[in-house]
Amino acid sequence: PIFTSPGTGQFTIVLTVRDDSQLTGTDTLRISITATNILPVANAGTDQLIQLPTNSAALNGNSSYDPDGNVTAYKWRKITGPNMVFSNDAVVSPSVSSLTYGSYQFELVVTDNRGGIAKDSMVLIVNSPPSANAGSNTSITLPANTATLNGSASTDVDGTISYAWTQLGTGASIANPSAAQTSVTFAGEGTYNFQLTVMDNRGATSTASVTITVLPVPGVSVKTFKVNIFGGTNPYNNAQWNNWNVVSSLTSSRFNYDDGTASNINAVLTAYGLIADNGATYAAAATACPPAVLRYTSANTSYRTLTFNGMNTSKTYNLEFYGSRANTGNSSIFQIGNRYDTISTDNNVNDVARFNDIAPDANGRIVVTISRIGTWNYLSGFVVNENISTSFSRTPAPVEEVQSTIAEPASTLLSVHPNPVVDIITVNIPADINGEYKLSLVNMAGKVLSQRSGRKTTIGQLEKLDVSNFPKGMYML
């Protein structure tokens, strides 16, 4: 007969036989019926990528399980790959060490409590980062103004690389920043630093830098002095920079050139206002000048002048001014003669006021006026270059402006409106002025263009000046 079990369990079947003499005999059969074993599920974890010099990793079989029992044994083995060492190949999550670059495949075999087995595998890639090589430092001599950046010696032993060139500073133009080898053009003499970043096909990067020095025309020495404005604490500790404590004195000592030699030039500032500290970490990404120069700024609410004395009357000069402050909605206007440049000083890291080929007057002076858009004007520092050429005109090139601006008086005695002005300006002579007075309109070169004399006869007396015939620009009253 056929026995059909009603389910799982222990069953006893008794067989009884009888002969023709009615004698009997029996035998017993015991049957154990269990459920079909469901095999375990092996999970060797996700594939991994590590970057040398890291040379160890943890394998993870924790997600393995048995649906109808439990996993009783784990066994790991390497299927493919270079040499390595297991910490223990019979645990759920061993570590592997002494890895070298390449691809490893590991297999995990799990066994359940009824002898069922399952397998899974994972891939561990050990990537060797690329090695960037930006080439050797080099120099060129003006009038040549181009050079080659060459990163072709960069390597990656286990993949491919891409290139990215950047300049650490300003004054140069890179033709193709993503090429291994590219040309670069320079604005003038100086030291230029470049960084090459290479990235391999697995995202690892490496950087290298190179310096290219652009030398002046042979036989000519160009002089430069650099000045940091501060208030007495935390000067900029750089031998190429002069530190001028304007709180201590509005008249500087003679500046040193950046090569360490002494110049005959000093400067006088008519007012420092206050010294604002932007903080030690301010402008870390500055490209206009070193971040330390932008830390402190001389802030003033009124028009002021910066006068350079002792300049060579047979030379011309290039001047660059810096200013920066946390977001206050201000801009600073720098003007020399009828040329001007404006710095947007709010959190400024790259804007400068620049003047080229400025000739000093017959007394060796260059006068810079500093005014504002908003409430404050700022001065953090400046750099002055003495030009090679001695051929120049003392007449500044005209710069078109929208309106004439009367610089605000240094005191609060006078008020003027409108300012800027197109034609007629009204001057309010307040009550505390008595007797005779004289009003003088002076251009930025110090020349008196118009004068008016009078006697105070009424409280709050008004004078009107017609400035419509004067060139557009900035004037002092």
**121 plus 14 within the same structural domain:** yes
> Is the pLDDT assigned to residue 448 strictly greater than 70?
no
**76 plus 29 within the same structural domain:** yes
**121 plus 245 within the same structural domain:** no
Q: Is 401 exposed, middle or buried (0-12, 13-18, 19+ CB in 10 A)?
A: middle
Write the CATH number for 324.
2.60.120.430
Question: Looking at residues 241-269, what average pLDDT do you find?
Answer: 96
Domain assignment present for residue 405? The answer is no
**36 plus 100 within the same structural domain:** yes
pLDDT tens column, 166-225: 999 888 999 999 999 999 999 888 999 999 999 999 999 999 999 999 988 775 557 999
Q: Strand 331-336 vs strand 366-373: parallel, antiparallel, or unpaired?
A: antiparallel
8-state DSSP, 41: B
Write the CATH number for 118.
2.60.40.10
**82 plus 29 within the same structural domain:** yes
Q: Strand 71-80 vs strand 57-58: parallel, antiparallel, or unpaired?
A: unpaired
Q: Is 205 exposed, middle or buried (0-12, 13-18, 19+ CB in 10 A)?
A: middle
pLDDT tens column, 22-74: 899 999 998 888 778 999 999 999 999 999 999 999 999 999 999 999 999 99
**14 plus 49 within the same structural domain:** yes
**318 plus 424 within the same structural domain:** no
Domain termination residue (choose one: 198, 215, 232): 215
**123 plus 66 within the same structural domain:** yes
Specify the 3-state DSSP secondary structure of 319.
Answer: strand
**230 plus 272 within the same structural domain:** yes
Containing structural domain, residue 435: 415-476
pLDDT tens column, 342-399: 999 989 999 999 999 899 999 999 999 999 988 899 999 999 999 865 444 444 433 3
Domain termination residue (choose one: 95, 127, 159): 127
**16 plus 71 within the same structural domain:** yes
Domain assignment present for residue 404? The answer is no
Q: Residue 390: what pLDDT?
A: 47
**226 plus 328 within the same structural domain:** yes
Domain count, the chain: 4
Domain termination residue (choose one: 152, 183, 215): 215
First to last CA, the chain: 128
pLDDT band of 405, cuts 50, 70, 90: very low
pLDDT tens column, 26-40: 999 988 887 789 999
**309 plus 329 within the same structural domain:** yes
Domain assignment present for residue 306? The answer is yes
Q: What is the pTM of this model?
A: 0.42
| 382 neighbors 449 (Cβ within 8 angstroms) | no
Domain assignment present for residue 397? The answer is no
